[in-house]
Structure 1
Amino acid sequence: MTTHDLGPTIPARANWAEEAVAAHAGAEHLTREEQVLERIAKARARKAKIKEQRVTLSHGAGGKATHTLIEAVFLEAFRNPVLERLEDGASLAVSWTDGATGRLAFTTDSFVVSPLFFPGGDIGDLAVNGTVNDLAMCGARPLHLSAGFILEEGFPVADLQRIVASMAAAAQAAGVQIVTGDTKVVQRGKADGCYITTAGVGLLDRPTTLSAAAARPGDVVLVSGPIGDHGITVMLARGELDIEADIESDTAPLHGITAGLLDVAGDGVRLLRDATRGGVATICNEVAVASQVAVVLDESSLPVRPVVTGASELLGIDPLYVACEGRLVAVVGPDRADAALAALHAHPLGEGAAVIGTVKDDPPGLVLLRTAFGGTRIVDLLVGDPLPRIC
């Protein structure tokens, strides 16, 4: 008689059947919405595990694949209390030989945008502004930057000079200095012309500690201006979509507007984030998960330029996920929200600032959007790589 090995089909636990019946009985008393939310919560509670054998473009899109890569590979290997916060930069306590103490913010970033030059900016000022902004989101006053260049053999020297001049102008405008750097040249075809990696150091001269885990029910969510400008600009600048629009990147240094916000709202500011890769939606998801709260956004309150709305509809994408390079998201206590909004409006980069949502206690870990049609939908992290690479 032939026998077949059916594999480990029966769970090892002796009471597995009783547990399954109890779970099913419990589920029967839940609404369909509650069952979906419960499944989402269970999925998010699982330890991050990367399933792919090779890195894909989706791992750099800022969505679920990116978060899995960070948590399962980098955080798993480098784990420490500072890194575990997964903020835009690290806040470090330092002491000097004369006995003085203080706090510094430290951050690093890489820039691989294509095309290198686009309406409103280029990879050079993007690199400076992006690093300055990461320091500003920590509540720091940016001081010094480093710049590393990976250049492809055959890259035009004139283009390199143009990029470097743009970086110098951006650094001067932001009041920072580029004090060290590195240059590597790789063979033709081994890079996309020019990649830039920067690091930055800033001084934390305020006692405020900003964190995605600090949001509380009742807090207000603000954005400093229209969203999606940068991402749409870069996508259209490639000329692959045959769409023309009068729009340019919003790349800009944000430390001035954050300083004004912190001056008036102080410890009422829970979190600051610049809405780059993954857009506003990704920031709100990070807040919801880290603080175990619900972030409820109002679609009718989202500041989006008509040209961005139109281009997004043609491309089949949601502006909530499109990158900005000169916009910040702030979560502020309800008693400081009006002052915070006024401070944003008082700065030239915050004229289009708006309150876009609130923080609730339920359902924890989720972002919900009240649509213009009166319904509500979940705004989750991006799955896969639905957007072209823009940073």
Structure 2
Amino acid sequence: MAYDCEVLVIGAGIVGLATAYALTRQSPGMRVLVVEKEPGPARHQTGRNSGVIHSGVYYRPGSLKARYATRGATEMVKFCAEHALPHAVTGKLIVATTRDELPRLHALAQRGRENGIPVRELGPAQIAEHEPEVTGLAAIHVATTGVADFAAVATQLAADVDVLYGSEVRRISRRDGSVAVRTGDGTVIRARALVNCAGLHCDRVARLAGDRPGMRIVPFRGEYFTLRRPSLVKGLVYPVPDPAFPFLGVHLTRGVDDSVHVGPNAVPAMAREGYRWRTVSVRDVVGTVGYPGAWRIARRHWRYGAAEVRHSLSREAYAGEVRRLLPAVRASDLEPAAAGVRAQAVLSDGTLVDDFLFGEGPRTVHVLNAPSPAATASLPIGREVARRVLEVLRES
């Protein structure tokens, strides 16, 4: 049988591109093709985030997130330096502002040390040395955290692989030892193996392939602001996260362009690509409302969700959340910026999948949960997915 390529990757976000990049380096001469429905790379999660190179301090020791983030942070800095891409290793503060956060902050410091990350515990006076306008009872300083332009990283990766843009996958069939994909314009592409890195649509692509992913993407919009007085913040400042959620809370990030981003919150999105409240997809809303896991999340965490919605609808309420860390901020300091949507995998029992999640089917590898810190960890994730798909090819 004639193949158009040996491996077809769906999705030109940073994970899909890193997978194609890894395949071409692990198997020189292998024909790898990436198909992407958008006219360019990094149009969704990759290009709509805080731009933080995460150190791995938050993640359970031994988890994929912990392993890939710690390794990926070093590799990302090296990749950016080698290709002259915007980046900086700035360090960050994680600040406890109430007494009930102090045990969680200490536990976070211990977790960071278990993950091999240098962390330093600070008192109020030391917080002021790093961030004069930030107040807190205690903090930890994580020196290995940085910032990068992940869209630029994706563009660099795309330059080294073959990408077919403007090609939305409509049908997938597997037979006669091959995988065939039909795109929206009727083009049929045949490959020996398929990799699903479709992000916000990964569960749908898995079902198109005839597989049962065992999860559903429930989209959460993260809304950002730009700080009109960037001099208030010198680097990166985070709250102590709530361990019940895979979200890190509203934080302050001085980016590679020297502007300071504030956010994100986490509110239910009315579309998988719903970057505004007024963007509504009936298909996406029906899919979420009809999923038992979404109702179980709502019942379990409605108070948290209601607070996030209030912060979304009221800039003053949003500013009040920021003032926990930065008392000088006013609502007028917050200038709206582009929002992002997190592709959060949810199990039918309402569990928010906390770690990276992969799945496999005949001649197929699926990336089913890869939100933050996936951009940081994209190079090791890409190698792991490449390893899996090469194993699929060897067994076929």
**Global fold match (TM > 0.5):** no
Which TM-score bucket, shorter chain as reference? under 0.3
Structure number with larger C-alpha Rg: 1
